[in-house]
Structure 1
Amino acid sequence: MTKKESLKLFEDRKVRTVWDDEQEKWYFAIVDVVAVLTDSSNPQTYWRVLKKRLLSEGNETVTNCNGLKMQAADGKMRMTDVADTEQLFRLIQSIPSPKAEPFKQWMARVASDRVDQLQDPELSIDQAIMDYKRLGYSDNWINQRIKSIEVRKELTDEWQRSGVSGPQYASLTDIITKEWSGRTTKEYKNMKGLKKENLRDNMTNVELALNTLAEASTTEISKDRNPKGFNQNAAVAQSGGSVAKAARQQLESQLGRSVISSTKAKDYLLPDSEKPKDEE
């Protein structure tokens, strides 16, 4: 399965999803769906009990559900029961909830949007913008974040061209982050009090700009030096990070303070009353 994990939002609740390129299907983390529909304080237990009951009844939908590794609340990849759209429609019938019908409509939109996005990639960007707006991010921050996603994609494409495999991306990213910020990704997240949250989604405008500069610089230097393999790419990553480091130090000398902040997203997101509402 060629899969791409992502988060979707239903009424500001996160639902882990995976897109299977080969089967062209969405898979949804069942426990996340249970949490949304039931508001249970322990959706794992709710699903475990429901699953046992349905299996004892010979429910074929549960029998055919797959397990995939997805990022858990502690940030680790763990096996999670998932269901495709058709399976989930059937499972929802076994969960009494006033949110069942709205959730079914939401699932249908997710499936439809993905088909449209495959035809027009700009729609994926539009969806990301809407999701960030719903979470309360400012327009200025969103514009920077969308640009940073584009820059990151260019960098990973360049790494792939240079003979670096996917699992090594994290190590190279650590080198870049450590060089410009003075902290590894883990240290940076710890400073901000983050666990499973995305570091970039919790950067200030300045931090995000510097991180984007570091990654864009790494891409351009790589194109110029044409490195091969991990070690040569690691040297390029350090060089790219040093460009942003110089910019950070120059800015800090003007401000007289550090621009590396312990501030995280929830400290500056718009209050619920100012967040845009979904159309009915």
Structure 2
Amino acid sequence: MDNQTTKIALFKGTRIRKTLHNNEWWFVVEDVVLALMDSSNPKQYIQRMKYRDPELAKGYVQIVHTLDILTEGGIQKMNCANTEGIFRIIQSIPSPKAEPFKRWLAKVGYERVQEIENPELATKRTRMLYKLKGYPEEWIEKRMRGIAIREELTDEWQKRGAQEQKDYEILTAEISKATFGVTPSEYKDLKGLKRENLRDHMDDFELIFTMLGERSTTEIHRIDNSKGVPKLKKDAERGGKIAGTARKALEHEIGRSVVSKENYLPKRRGGKRIK
């Protein structure tokens, strides 16, 4: 796998996933289309767009590359384009948001240059995004720590034999099942989430036990010097059980379930977050 890292950028409230590839940002094409057109089916819109613009269709394979995007379910192959490629695609999208998006894209590209020179800027920007979205400082601290623990774990998985998207999905699901009794997809259904990041909708306890399960798994990998997905899967279950046992003990003491339906989605009226 190339040296990549997946981040989330926001354009007028719409998330744009981007991945670092060859020291520049590559953006998920479907996310860009969704941001500009509010299309319910971006894949279909892209096909129509190529049909309307034969020149774009002819050069599409040179503009768009399939890259690994890290999602909460694991790594997925997604169509991405760099800043230059996105500018070309935007030319075929009749949207009043196109010009503001171009300015936003140029700014994001410049920020990446800054982040290469000073990696702390990326962390600061992530913190600021959460703050602007209304999350409390205490929650942000836990979320940022959780991101670091997750990255540490996925680095271990990559070094120890997890390469395919399904490997990351399986390992993540094992930890989640042992920790919370549900897989990430089941957890998202419980919280009423669709494209949203599950962990952005966890409360303090949910984040803490997620971190405990993943950090425990990382430590088990290192102690056992685990290799190969079957062994990593067993470790993931063991790490998750450590967090699951702690969760059940807490639930016994506080008299309620840690696993919650609540989320940080805006209410339909008033725009306030629920928790």
With the length of structure 1 as denominator, give the TM-score of the two structures: 0.78
Query: Partner letter of residue 127 of structure 2?
Result: I
- CA gap 1:221/1:207 in 2 versus in 1, 3 angstroms: same
Instruction: For 1:75-94, list aligned pairs within 5 A.
Output: 80=79, 82-93=80-91
- State the Cα deviation string for residues 42-91 of structure 1 (Å, max 9, x = none): 665655444333316x89766743253788xxx996764x5432233344
Moved more, 129-138 or 246-255: 129-138
Moved more, 124-133 or 227-236: 227-236
Gaps of 5+ in 2: none
Between the two proteins, the alignment pairs up a number of residues equal to 265
Of the three residues 111, 114, 124, the one matched with 2:112 is: 114
Structure with bigger gyration radius: 1
Instruction: For 1:148-187, list aligned pairs within 5 A.
Output: 148-167=146-165, 168-187=167-186
The DSSP-based 3-state class of the residue aligned with 1:27 is strand
C-alpha distance in 2, partners of 1:216/1:195? 27
With the length of structure 2 as denominator, give the TM-score of the two structures: 0.79
Instruction: For 1:147-226, list aligned pairs within 5 A.
Output: 147-167=145-165, 168-226=167-225
Of the three residues 86, 96, 99, the one matched with 2:97 is: 99
- CA gap 1:263/1:70 in 2 versus in 1, 3 angstroms: farther
C-alpha distance in 2, partners of 1:13/1:247? 36
Moved more, 7-16 or 166-175: 166-175
Moved more, 162-171 or 146-155: 162-171
The DSSP-based 3-state class of the residue aligned with 1:160 is helix
- CA gap 1:41/1:194 in 2 versus in 1, 3 angstroms: closer
Instruction: For 1:40-51, list aligned pairs within 5 A.
Output: 47-51=46-50
- How many angstroms does 1:260 deviate by? 0.8
Quote the RMSD (CA, aligned, Å).
3.3
- How many angstroms does 1:102 deviate by? 2.4
Percentage of pairs with the same residue: 41
1:174 touches 1:185 (CA, 8 Å); kept in 2?
yes
2:19 touches 2:26 (CA, 8 Å); kept in 1?
yes
Query: Partner letter of residue 219 of structure 2?
Result: E
Query: Partner letter of residue 180 of structure 1?
Result: T
Instruction: For 1:1-280, list aligned pairs within 5 A.
Output: 2=2, 4-21=5-22, 24-39=23-38, 47-55=46-54, 64-66=62-64, 68=66, 80=79, 82-93=80-91, 95-167=93-165, 168-266=167-265
